[in-house]
Structure 1
Amino acid sequence: MLLSPTSFTCFSKKALPWLMVICVLFFIVGILVAVVFSPEDYKQGEIAKVMHIHVPAAWLSLAIYCLIALLSFISLVWNNSVAAILAYSAAPAGVVFSAICLITGSIWGKGTWGTWWVWDARLTSMLILFFLYIGYLALWSSFFNKVRAEKSAAVFAIFSAINIPIVKFSVNLWSTLHQPASIIRRGGIAIDKSFLLPLITMFMFCITFFLVVWILHFLFLINSYKIKREISLRY
């Protein structure tokens, strides 16, 4: 099974060099097409280029928390500690991506709305997601017994994942300054190819960067976690 310590560690070490190379390539191409070749928006001007990091960061923030919730479910149902460590390994990246989303969104909002922040449904639910990441990590550090820590954090992740569809559909359910979806929507993609290509390229960079950081964090944790878990099981 892939989610055994030996199998996943071996797979991770083999995949890591390739992911690093792909990540660097996507970064170089993404920066070129997003900053140099991407045109100005006819309404917003240069500030619209913030979308090339803001939107991928938002997508990754939601996707990583879904991944954490799924791995937490696996860890609870099948008592799989590797799934729990994988979930924990992904959380710091989720904090960073959600912070990037909030910061770049504020910059974009200042340029388009004239204000850094508004308490509307999308921004507020995204801020809640950031604090959910913090809460999840805090639970892991709140117990000396690592078995109790992983189970408590897993339950928290599963139930708090209800915020993900709230973030996603907040622009459709409530009145908000934030624009509705432009790509995953009824009626097809509503964004020009000159913006779509850089957006997808930067998204691929963010995905590969996350995978590299995730694997590195997992490999670091798996060795120390074995010792800590063995100690905690004695008490």
Structure 2
Amino acid sequence: MNPLVRWFHQLGSPPYFDRFAARWSPWCHLAGLVLLGVGLWQALFVVPADYQQGDSFRILYIHVPSAWMSLFVFGLMALYAAIALVWRIKLCEVLAMACAPIGAAFTVITLATGSIWGKPMWGTWWDWDPRLTTELILLFLYLGVMGLYAAIEDRRAAARAAGLLAIVGVALLPVIRYSVVWWNSLHQGQTIRLLGQSSMDASMIMPLWIMVLATKFWFAGSLLARARADNLRREAGKDWLTRLAGSSP
């Protein structure tokens, strides 16, 4: 068997995943914190003020990575949920449900920083702008997944029901992404592109990519930690967990 395929098979084992998550979650969190510190330092003290927005534009370095993560995490949650529904892989159920509160947190940060940024730019904390409104709907979807998972006592049945909602909710992601193109919007158009030329000045882009990496590492650490905790709750009473508890100092 291919070593990579064998590793994925091993990762689906609850004891193996527990060891993997316990080992790598702290390192991911540490990498995220270091990158976050570097990115914030550059965003606050190295990057020059914007010629139009002045220093208020600096909130972009929190707002944009959080917004990207709110979409990325929901898409990943739906992917895990689809794999769990098709192949009945329990670990994917655990990972999908662990994504929901983390993605909801990124969405709250996105909405909060967008409102703070919007006040000096638009003169109001909130406007029923297409981008803001669809992002708010995304938050409700995250809360719906979390609520549905908590409402059903059987963990596997709860994960399947909540996962189905996540899969259906994926249809919202392209609407959020292209809302500034499809409708007239107060929200500024796309200025940063992964592929192609960004309209943002090159001197301002590097801290943004550092912050994007920081959020990715923090998410990975949080996902492993939450999934490990849920995995341990599901496995309570199993022999391997009893042996692990007995060998702990």
TM-score of the pair, normalised by structure 1: 0.92
Write the mapping of 1:132-211 to structure 2, written as runs, cut at 5 A: 132-184=141-193, 188-211=197-220
Q: Distance in 2 between matches of 1:186 and 1:176?
A: 23
Q: Distance in 1 between matches of 2:87 and 2:236?
A: 21
Q: Per the alignment, in what secondary structure is the counterpart of residue 235 of structure 2?
A: helix
AA in 2 matched with 1:31: L
Corresponding residue number in structure 2 for 1:78: 87
Deviations 1:122-180 (A, max 9, x none): 11000000110000000001111222211101111101110111100111111111111
Change (3 A) 1:99 1:159: same
Change (3 A) 1:107 1:19: same
Report the alpha carbon displacement of residue 186 of structure 1 after superposing the two structures with TM.
Answer: 7.6
Q: Distance in 1 between matches of 2:196 and 2:28?
A: 34
Corresponding residue number in structure 2 for 1:60: 69
Q: Give the number of the structure whose alpha-carbon radius of gyration is greater.
A: 2
Which stretch shifts more, 141-150 or 73-82? Answer: 141-150
AA in 1 matched with 2:158: A
Which of 33, 37, 40 is equivalent to 1:31? 40
Q: Which runs of 5+ in 1 are unaligned?
A: 229-235
Corresponding residue number in structure 2 for 1:224: 233
Q: Distance in 2 between matches of 1:190 and 1:3?
A: 43
Q: Distance in 2 between matches of 1:186 and 1:145?
A: 44
AA in 1 matched with 2:109: I
8 Å Cα contact 2:31-2:218 kept in structure 1: no
Which stretch shifts more, 140-149 or 66-75? Answer: 140-149
Which stretch shifts more, 212-221 or 95-104? Answer: 212-221
AA in 2 matched with 1:216: A
Q: Per the alignment, in what secondary structure is the counterpart of residue 40 of structure 1?
A: coil
Q: Which runs of 5+ in 2 are unaligned?
A: 1-8, 238-249
Q: Per the alignment, in what secondary structure is the counterpart of residue 124 of structure 2?
A: coil
Change (3 A) 1:187 1:29: closer
Report the alpha carbon displacement of residue 61 of structure 1 after superposing the two structures with TM.
Answer: 0.2
Correspondence 1:69 to 2:78: yes
Report the alpha carbon displacement of residue 187 of structure 1 after superposing the two structures with TM.
Answer: 5.3
- Aligned-residue CA RMSD (Å): 1.6
Corresponding residue number in structure 1 for 2:31: 22
Which of 103, 106, 114 is equivalent to 1:94? 103
Corresponding residue number in structure 2 for 1:130: 139
TM-score of the pair, normalised by structure 2: 0.87
Q: Distance in 2 between matches of 1:186 and 1:56?
A: 16
Report the alpha carbon displacement of residue 185 of structure 1 after superposing the two structures with TM.
Answer: 7.2
Q: Distance in 2 between matches of 1:152 and 1:63?
A: 21
Identity value in percent: 36
AA in 2 matched with 1:64: V
Corresponding residue number in structure 2 for 1:231: none
Change (3 A) 1:185 1:90: closer
Report the alpha carbon displacement of residue 218 of structure 1 after superposing the two structures with TM.
Answer: 1.2
Q: Distance in 2 between matches of 1:185 and 1:199?
A: 12
Report the alpha carbon displacement of residue 25 of structure 1 after superposing the two structures with TM.
Answer: 1.7
Aligned length, in residue pairs: 228
Q: Distance in 1 between matches of 2:98 and 2:105?
A: 13
